[in-house]
Amino acid sequence: MTEEVRLIIVGFGVVARSLAGSLEARGEEFRRTRGIDFHLVAAVDSKSAAIDRNGLDVRELLRRKEETGRVGRRSLPATEIIEDTEADILVELTPANPLDAEPGMTHLKSAIKSSKHVVTANKMPLAHEYPSLMTSAESRGVQVRYSACVGAGLPILDFGDACAVSEPLLKVEGVLNATSNFVLSRMESDSSSFPEALEEAKKLGYAESNPWLDVDGVDSAAKIVIIANHTLKKSLTLKDVAIVEGIRRISPSRVKALREEGKKVRMVASVERRPEVRVLELPRGDPLSIDGACNVVKFHCKYSGERVVSGPAAGGVTTSSAVMRDLLRVGASIGGS
């Protein structure tokens, strides 16, 4: 038995296009091995929309987006499409907006209101309103899944869940912003200035569309709020982050002096009682002093001590792999295997 699972993708940028490519390339594999037949019934970008209740031709959609910059010929409000199109899951992949989390917030609320599951890589709606969004989703009997919001493809939340199965978690701390970490590592390894290193991060596609989110600590603050809610079962929003420190004032001379002392400077987000983001000087051997466009997280477990997960955590392919992980989980819960 194969279960048809209908998707709406809102936001058709780097992550969504990588996801659509995988849906196209691996459709047969998912039907055969998971019993899930994904149908993309609508795709929306900032200027246009494409809808086909029988399933869009994904290859053609990707070609059109590449050639014209648009997914469709018509422009329709995303909320109307989310509420009026028969579908099982909204995949929300619009840009992270730290001010009011829009347009993602409205998209998530529209999906929940119309009893659709949500899979998202957009951290800001969750950082702004995690507790109330989860309460609404629960009351509607739908799932909200967000693996890709923390660690891109690195399964940080899953790792934390596994640690928490047998003992309480006391504290979580980590390097959660790959762009900032890339910038700091670059400044250390080849004495680049901050603007040079940031420019390179942008060129390599690591930075957010607004890179100040990364380097000013706001992206890390949003992620530690999600970890605090998900893993430590707290009830927090972005407003509860006590301290947020960024890296834009770090000079190459400070980085050089620290290197000579055997230390590194890193942006570390943590939560024990309240979440915070601080720029810390760490000894070279500290697991948090990881290099490059990576994330690393230490879970402090009550009995077994520190458990660490780390790895590359930026880019469309790795992020879309986490979105796919969530889609397969929701798909399994609604009839696949």
Ligand X SMILES: NC(=O)c1ccc[n+]([C@@H]2O[C@H](COP(=O)([O-])OP(=O)(O)OC[C@H]3O[C@@H](n4cnc5c(N)ncnc54)[C@H](OP(=O)(O)O)[C@@H]3O)[C@@H](O)[C@H]2O)c1
Q: Angle 156-164/218-230 helices, nearest 10 degrees?
A: 30
Give the dihedral sign, CA 137/124/77/55. Answer: negative
For ligand X, the closer of residues 176 and 247 by Cβ is 176
Total number of residues that touch ligand X (CB under 6 A): 27
89-92 β-sheet, strand order: 49-51, 36-44, 3-10, 89-92, 117-120, 144-145
| Touching ligand X, residues 31-70 (CB under 6 A) | 44-47
Active site residues: 223
**Which residues make Cβ contacts (< 8 Å) with residue 101, sequence separation at least 6?**
122, 124, 125, 127, 128, 129
Per CB under 6 A, does 89 bind ligand X? no
**Does 292 help bind ligand X (rule: CB under 6 A)?**
no
Q: How far is the CB of 94 from ligand X (least distance, A)?
A: 4
Of 7-15, 163-171, 236-244, 257-265, the window that binds ligand X (rule: CB under 6 A) is: 7-15
**Contact between 15 and ligand X per CB under 6 A:** yes
Q: How far apart are CA 44 and CA 81, in angstroms?
A: 9
Q: Which of 72, 98, 103, 246 binds ligand X (CB under 6 A)?
A: 103
14 belongs to the binding site for ligand X (CB under 6 A): yes
Residues 256-275, interacting with ligand X (CB under 6 A): none
Which of 208, 214, 276, 326 binds ligand X (CB under 6 A)? It is: 208
- Site mask for ligand X (CB under 6 A), range 110-129, x = bound: -----------xx-------
> Is the Cβ of residue 70 or residue 329 nearer to ligand X in the bound state?
70
Structure tokens at 28: 């047969």
User: Is 28 or 67 the residue whose CB approaches ligand X more closely?
Assistant: 67
Closer residue to ligand X (CB): 98 or 331: 98
Task: Determine contact, residues 19/91, Cβ cutoff 8 Å.
Answer: yes
Orientation of helix 178-190 relative to helix 252-260, angle to 10°: 70
Q: Tokens 């010929």 identify what position? A: 73
Distance separating alpha carbons of residues 196 and 265, to the nearest angstrom:
18
Looking at beta carbons only, is 103 or 336 nearer to ligand X? Answer: 103
- Taking phi over 0 as left and psi of -120 to 50 as alpha, with beta for the rest, 305 belongs to left
Closer to ligand X at the Cβ: 115 or 209?
Answer: 209
Partners of residue 171 on adjacent β-strands: 300
Site stretch for ligand X (CB under 6 A), options 95-103, 138-146, 221-229, 266-274? 95-103
Instruction: Give the binding range for ligand X (CB under 6 A) out of 26-34, 79-87, 283-291, 314-322.
Output: 314-322
Asked whether the beta carbons of 37 and 4 are under 8 A apart, the reply is yes
Which residue ranges make up the site for ligand X (CB under 6 A)?
10-16, 44-47, 78, 93-96, 103, 121-122, 148, 152, 208-209, 314-316, 319
